[in-house]
Amino acid sequence: MKKNQSKRNGKYLLFSLGIGLVTALTFTITILIGFQYYQKQKTQQLQTALNLATENTRKILTNSNLAAFSIGLTIDPLEDTIKNFDYVAKEIMDRHPYLYGVQILKGGEIQYVYPYEEHKDVLGYNILENPETKLEAEKAIKDKKIYYAGPLELKQGGLGIVGRLPIFQESEFWGFSAVLIKIEDFLKASGIAKNDYTNITFEFSKINPNTNKVEYFTDNKKSESLSLSYIFEESAWKITAVYSQEVTIYFLLALVIMLTIASSVGSGLYTYQILKKPEKLEMLLSVKTKEIEENNEYLESMVQAIPDLIFIYDKEGRYLDFHAYEQSLLYYKPKEFIGKSIFDLFDKSFASDVHEVILKAIKRNEVVDHSYSLDFKDGKKYFESRYVAINKEKVLAVVREITDKVLSEQKLEKSEEKYRNLVAQASDAIFLADEKGNLLELNQKGLELTGISADQVYSFNLNSIIKLEDANGLSLIELIHQEGKALEEATLFSGDNKKTSVEISCNSTYQGQIQGIIRDITVRNNYIKSIQNQNAKLKEIAWIQSHEVRAPLARLLGLLDYFEKYDNFDVNDKIKIIRSIRDSALELDVIIRDVVSRTERTENT
C-alpha cells in the first residue's frame, strides 16, 4: 500500500512538475512573444523616426536643388553674363532661412556670393585647386548633377555643407551654382539634432573622400544593436537612427518570470503605450506634408515668374504640361498641343530632332542644348532650349526666344563680310599686326606689294620690311609706341629684295594692336621728279629770256627811239640804222627759236 502511495506521490510530483513546466513554458513563450512584439514596435518606431528625419533631409536637399537650379538660371553661358543674381539670391535666402549662402563659380573660382558681407572673403578662391574640395567638385562635374560636399571646414569659419550644381555650355563645363548650409542649421532643420523621442538618437556620418575614413558629425555615437540607417546617393551621407535600450526592460523580464501575471499585465500596459506612438507620428507627418505642399506652391509661383517657356515631355515626345510667360511665343494654343506628340504637330524632320534631344537627356541624365527656328505669322522666330531629365519617363525643357540676338549676329556677320570684301579689293595694302609688329593679317594688295605668300604672313615683322626715311633714327614700331600713330614715307623691302617707295599710315588700336595702310608712291615720286626737272629747265629758259633776249630787244628799242626823234638823217645813216635794226631782229629771232626749241624738249621729257 505504501508502495502504491509512493507511486501516486511520484505521479503527483511528476504531474505537478509537468504543470509547473507547462506553466513556466507558457509564460516563457508569452514573455518571448511579448518581447519580440516589443522589439517589432520599437523597430517600427525607429523606422518612423528615421523616415521623418530622412524626409526632412530630402526636403532640404530638394529645396536646395531648386535653389541651386534657380541660381543657375541667372547664368547665360553663351554671353558669359550673370543676370539678377542678387535679386534671385535674396528671394531664395528669405524663403529658406536654413541656407547660409549661395555662390556662382566660373570654372572653380568663386565669383558671386550672397550675402556679400559674410562671404566676400572667399571671392577668387578656386575649389579645384584645393585637394580638400577638389575630389567632390570633380565628382559633380563627372556625374553632371548636383553633389553635396562635406560637411567640411568653410573658409568663412565653421563646418558646413556645400551643394554644387555643375553648369555646362554645349557639353563644355562652365562652372557651378552652389548653396551653403551650416552643419548646425542642417542638423536642426532635419530633426537630427533634436527630435520628439526620448530613446531615439541619430548619427550623422560620411566617408571622407580624401582619407576614406568614416567621420561623425554628431556627438551621440553608439553601438546599439537596434538601429536603422539610410544613405543619400547625392552626398554619400549616412543617417543612422539608434534606439537606446532601457535597462529596466531586463529587470522587468526577470520580474515577469517571478511574478508572471503581474509582469504580463505590466507588459500589456507598456505595449499599449507603445502602440499609441505611431498615431503621434502620423500627425507629425501630416504637418510636414502640408509644409511640403506649401513649399511646392511657392516653387510654382517662382516658375510663373520665369520669363521663358517651360515644357514637360514624356519620353515619346508628348506634351504633358507647360508654362508660358508670354502666350505670343507659343506656336500653338495650349488646347491644341497639350496631350499631343511633337510628331502630330510639326514636320517629321523637326519632330525627330526634338525627340532625339529628349531621349539623349534621359539617357545621359544631363542638360542637352537645342537651337531651332519656327515660322510664325509675324515672321521667323529663333529659340534656344535646354532639356534636363526629371526621371526616366519625363523631361523638362526651358526655351528662350533669341530672335533679336540672332538677327543682330546675322547683321554683324553681313557687315563683317562687307568689310572683308572692301579690304580684300582695296587698291592699297592693308595690314593688322600685334603690339610687337608681327603681322596678323594682310590683304591681297599687301601680298602682291610685299611678295609674301598668304601662309607666311605670320612669319614677318613690320620692322623687317619697312624702313622709315626720316624718323630721327626710330623704327616704325618705336615711332608708333611713342606717338600712337605714324604717317611717314618709307622704303618697302619685298621678298625678292625689291625696294619700293611707299607711304605708310597706321595707328595703335585700343586692343594694343597696330593697323594701317601702305600705299605705293613710286609713280607719284617719279611724277614729282619729272616736274622738278621741267621746273629746272623752265628756270633756264626764264634766265635766257631775262638776259639773252633783253640785249637785242634793248638795241631795237633804242634804235627805234633814235629813229623816231631825229629825222635829219642822210641816206647812209638810215641804211646803217636799218641794218642794225635788222641784225637785232635776226638775233632776237634766233634766241626766240632757241627758247621755243628748249620749251618743246622740256614738254617731251
Domain segments of the chain as ranges: 17-243, 306-408, 427-526, 531-603
Name the percent of the chain lying above pLDDT 90.
13
Which of 195, 168, 193, 5 lies closest to 77, judged by CA?
168
The three cell numbers of residue 163 are 551643394
Please write the tens of the pLDDT for every residue from 203-226: 888 887 777 888 777 775 554 557
pLDDT for position 541: 64
Global model pTM greater than 0.85: no
The three cell numbers locating residue 386: 535646354
Report residue 266's pLDDT band, with 50, 70 and 90 as the boundaries: very low
CB proximity list for 121: less than 8 A, separation 6 or greater: 155, 156
Predicted confidence band of residue 275 (pLDDT cuts 50, 70, 90): very low
Q: How far is CA 324 from CA 214, 284, 312, 414, in A?
A: 48, 37, 12, 33
Is 80 exceeded by the pLDDT of residue 94? yes
Asked if domains 17-243 and 427-526 share a fold, the reply is yes
pLDDT at 50: 79
**CATH fold for domain 427-526:** Beta-Lactamase (3.30.450)
528-571 pLDDT tens trace:
777 777 777 767 666 666 566 666 767 767 767 666 666 666 66
Instruction: Choose the CATH number for 17-243 among 3.30.70.270, 3.50.50.60, 3.30.450.20, 3.30.420.10.
Output: 3.30.450.20
> Which phi and psi angles does 230 have, rounded to 5°?
-145, 135
pLDDT at res. 331: 85
Q: What is the pLDDT of residues 103-145, one digit of tens each?
A: 999 988 999 999 999 899 999 999 999 888 888 889 889 988 8
Contact 75, 177 (CB under 8 A): yes
pLDDT at 354 over 70: yes
Q: pLDDT-based confidence at 234, cuts 50/70/90?
A: low
Element (H, E) at 570: none
d(CA 51, CA 114): 33
CA distances from 32 to 38, 41, 156, 257, 389 (A): 10, 14, 55, 11, 51
For residues 403-418, give the mean pLDDT: 81
pLDDT score for 187? 85
Q: Does domain 306-408 have CATH number 3.60.110.10?
A: no
pLDDT surpasses 90 at 157: no
Least confident window among 249-253, 355-359, 457-461: 249-253
